[in-house]
Amino acid sequence: MLHVLESDQEMLRDTTARFLDDKVPLSRLRKDRDDPAGFAPEYWTNGAELGWTSLLVSEEDDGGSVSGRGAVDLSLIAYEFGRHAAPGPLVDCNVVAAALAGRSGDAQSTVLAGLLDGSLIAACCLGTAPWQCRGEQTITIARDGDDLVIDGAVRPVEAGAQAAWLLVSGHGGTGPTQALVPVDASGLTIMPLRTLDVTRRYAAVTFDKVRVPARHLVGDFGGAADAIARQVDNAAVILAAESVGAMDAAFAMTLDYAFDRYTFGRALASYQALKHRFADLKSWLEASHAIADAAAEAVADSSPLASETASAARAYIGQYGTELVQDCVQLHGGIGVTYEHDLHFFLRRVALDAVLHGTVTDHRRLLAAARIGQEKAA
């Protein structure tokens, strides 16, 4: 998280932090382990009132940021989500809201309005992604008169079973295509999955000749490549900041443990072998803060390096965030792998965040392609 915040940003962060402390303490999350949704509906609508889903949407479209840099503001919320291991589809709802902002169409505006007031949830079905090569796409979208016909499958989809609408990205023959699909469409199967996470829910979504009217297109048929890239950048900003929050929480509790836990008559914190490990973790943590903030700022400012910085944040934090929390487990010893201890909430968080909306490898592929593209252009 940034060292220096504007006072409005600090208030936004602090309000969410206090709300999460109150509504979803870890004791509550333990109890909701088997709850199908993982949170109560009013939790999400109250959160929407705090601005959770409106920061990437401009004021003309009924959203609004606090600083004029929505991605930076949202990264503060995401950081608190990570620090609290909070439930709720923060990534997907924001990504879909930003994708729909400024689009015409009834379905588009209905979904956007529902996302902004928290009354509905929408999920991303990324069946074609910028890092994929030809033949790797898992969803196709075809035109048939005034209809679109969607086939294929995507998994895992966050809050797939809680969503009312899906933003589906698929290969449209001439190029990437996006459309909104209601979850009651015929031919659509949504199957809840088991998951590593105890606070968030995932589903497998299958499309078998699902038909929606062509007016459900988001953007032009075959022309959604840039829009999808922006969505991947937005997801990266949220996921990176969220992971940093989880890393901060895990590191802080491990640092406390190092001072409190004595062995062979000395605190763990007095052993140089462990001090050096903590120093390494601290350097990963600071670098993760730095690159997550750099990504949020670059995306907020639509910098030419926005996508590269966002992917670098995912590639770095995807690797070192998980390593950091795993090392926190190691430094705790046996207690670190118990359900009773709090550490696992953060381990689950970084482990999931590292593989959603592009893995470390996927984002490295994107970075390499960007570099090769820059060389060719030069």
Partner 1 sequence: MSGGIESVDDFRLRARAWIKANLGPIQPFDASQNCENDEIEREAVARDRALQRQIWDGGFAGICFPPEYGGLGLTPAHQRAFNEELAGHEFPSRFTVPTFSPCAAVLLEFGTPEQKAAHIPAILKGDEFWVQMLSEPGGGSDVAGATTSAVRDGDDWIINGSKVWTSRAWWADWGLCLARTNWDVPKHQGLTVFALPLHQPGIEIHRIERLSGETEACQEFFTDVRVPDSDRLGPVDGGWTVGSRWMYFERIGHNSPYVTRPVGLTNPEAEGPSAISIARRAGRLDDPVARDLIGEDRTLEIATHALQNRIAQAAASGRGNVDGSAVDRLFRGIARVRRATIEYEIAGPQAAAWTEEEDHASGSTGMRYLMRQVSCIGGGTTEIARNVIAERVLGMPRELSGDKGVPFRDVPRGPKRA
Residues that bind partner 1 (CB under 8 A): 3-4, 255, 258-259, 267, 269-270, 272, 275-276, 278-280, 282-283, 286-287, 289-291, 293-294, 308-309, 311-312, 315-316, 361, 363-372, 375
CB of 270 to partner 1, least distance (A): 4
- Closest distance of CB 291 from partner 1, Å: 4
When the beta carbons of 37 and 369 are compared against partner 1, the nearer one is 369
Structure tokens at 300: 């907020």
Task: Write down the least CB distance from residue 324 to partner 1, Å.
Answer: 13
- CB count, 10 Å around CB of 241? 31
Q: Which is nearer to partner 1, 209 or 266 (by Cβ)?
A: 266
Q: Which one, 189 or 283, has the nearer CB to partner 1?
A: 283
Closer CB to partner 1, 193 or 287, in the complex: 287
Convert 284-293 to b/e letters by CB count within 10 Å (16 or more is b): bbeebbebbb
Residues in the chain, how many? 378
Residue with tokens 């940021």: 65
Toward partner 1, which CB reaches closer, 357 or 363?
363
Which letter, b or e, does each residue of 330-345 get, where b requires 16 or more Cβ atoms within 10 Å of its Cβ?
ebbeeebeeeeebbbb
Question: What's the closest the beta carbon of residue 243 comes to partner 1, in angstroms?
Answer: 14
Query: Rounded to the nearest whole angstrom, what is the least distance from the CB of residue 361 to partner 1 in the complex?
Result: 6
Nearer to partner 1, 287 or 335 (CB): 287
Shortest CB 121 distance to partner 1, Å: 32
Token reading at 112: 């956007």
Report phi then psi at 343, rounded to 5.
Answer: -55, -35
**Beta carbons of 47 and 18 less than 8 angstroms apart:** no
CB of 137 to partner 1, least distance (A): 17
Angle at 58 between CA 57 and CA 61, to 5 degrees: 85
Cβ proximity to partner 1, 185 vs 269, nearer residue: 269
Q: Which is nearer to partner 1, 9 or 177 (CB)?
A: 9
Provide the 10 A C-beta neighbour count for residue 194: 5
Residue 125 and residue 169 in contact, taking contact as beta carbons nearer than 8 Å: yes
Comparing C-alpha atoms, which of 183, 297, 165 is closest to residue 241? 297
How far, in whole angstroms, is CA 75 from its chain's centroid? 10
- Least separation in angstroms between CB 254 and partner 1: 11
Question: Amino acid letter at 147?
Answer: D
Provide DSSP, 134-194. Answer: TT---EEEEEETTEEEEEEEEEEEETTTT-SEEEEEEE-SSSEEEEEEETT-TTEEEEE--
